[in-house]
A and B are shown apart, each in its own frame.
Chain A
């Protein structure tokens, strides 16, 4: 059974940092790209960023709204993806999901985590 479990969310002050983790199981992690998507309360889905697999040079990409502040990384030995968030703003408050993208077939998959809530507030 495929599982993606996010952790690391919480309350942080504006300007602070937080690192989210996404622990994966039940599929070939090294064959997947890992994406982060967020959703503010009552709002739509916003793609945040992604990291591709080793075969694709671990290439990263980010939404303009987080570029330069957020960093996606992965540890294939631990089947875990990370989202390092620095310089947090109140508008970064959202539920953050990790999601798997199949690098072999080059298609999205139905595999999403349950999400972790990040609240940026003083």
Chain B
């Protein structure tokens, strides 16, 4: 099975900073990758699918990139409401594995 590895596991940044999270697949998955945001005590929310397509209603400061095995989620200007854990998920075939998550905090 394909493994999904996110880095870093956690990060702390200042409001307005540019933040980048990386997700690496152990084998190529084309662009079948989604990113989710989960705030404490809440249900995960879909941010991006097809590696770079922004889900409707998601702020434009979020962007995704990559293809094959290496992917990124970028927050162009970190806001206080972005404090959350972010997960990548492959969906090219089962099992639809998640990354282990990246916790984003405000410095």
Interface status of B62 (Cβ within 8 A of chain A): no
In the complex, chain A residues whose CB is within 8 Å of the CB of B44: 37, 45, 97, 112
Task: Report the minimum CB–CB distance from A29 to chain B (whole Å).
Answer: 19
Interface status of A11 (Cβ within 8 A of chain B): no
The reply to whether A45 and B49 form a contact with Cβ atoms under 8 Å apart is: no
Interface status of A8 (Cβ within 8 A of chain B): no
Interface residue count on the A side (C-beta < 8 Å): 21
Interface status of A44 (Cβ within 8 A of chain B): yes
* Chain A window 21-59, contacts with chain B (Cβ cutoff 8 Å), 1 for yes, 0 for no: 000000000000001010000001111001000000000
The reply to whether A107 and B95 form a contact with Cβ atoms under 8 Å apart is: no
- A interface majority secondary structure: strand
The reply to whether B87 and A44 form a contact with Cβ atoms under 8 Å apart is: yes
Task: Report the minimum CB–CB distance from B36 to chain A (whole Å).
Answer: 7
Chain B, 35-85, CB within 8 A of any chain A CB: 36, 38, 43-46, 49-50, 55, 85
Interface status of A64 (Cβ within 8 A of chain B): yes
Known: A47-B89, A50-B94. A110 touches B1 (CB 8 A): no
Q: Which of B46, B91, B96 contacts A110, CB < 8 Å?
A: B46
Interface status of A114 (Cβ within 8 A of chain B): yes
- Complex CA–CA separation, A107 to B33 (angstroms): 9
The reply to whether B46 and A108 form a contact with Cβ atoms under 8 Å apart is: yes
Interface status of A70 (Cβ within 8 A of chain B): no
- Complex CA–CA separation, A97 to B94 (angstroms): 17
The reply to whether B101 and A44 form a contact with Cβ atoms under 8 Å apart is: yes
- Complex CA–CA separation, A70 to B87 (angstroms): 24
The reply to whether B101 and A101 form a contact with Cβ atoms under 8 Å apart is: no
Contacts A37-B98, A115-B43 known; 8 new A-B pairs at CB < 8 A: A44-B87, A44-B98, A45-B38, A47-B98, A97-B43, A108-B89, A108-B91, A109-B46
Can you list 11 residue pairs at the A/B interface with Cβ under 8 Å?
A44-B87, A46-B98, A47-B98, A61-B95, A62-B94, A63-B95, A97-B43, A107-B34, A107-B49, A112-B44, A114-B43
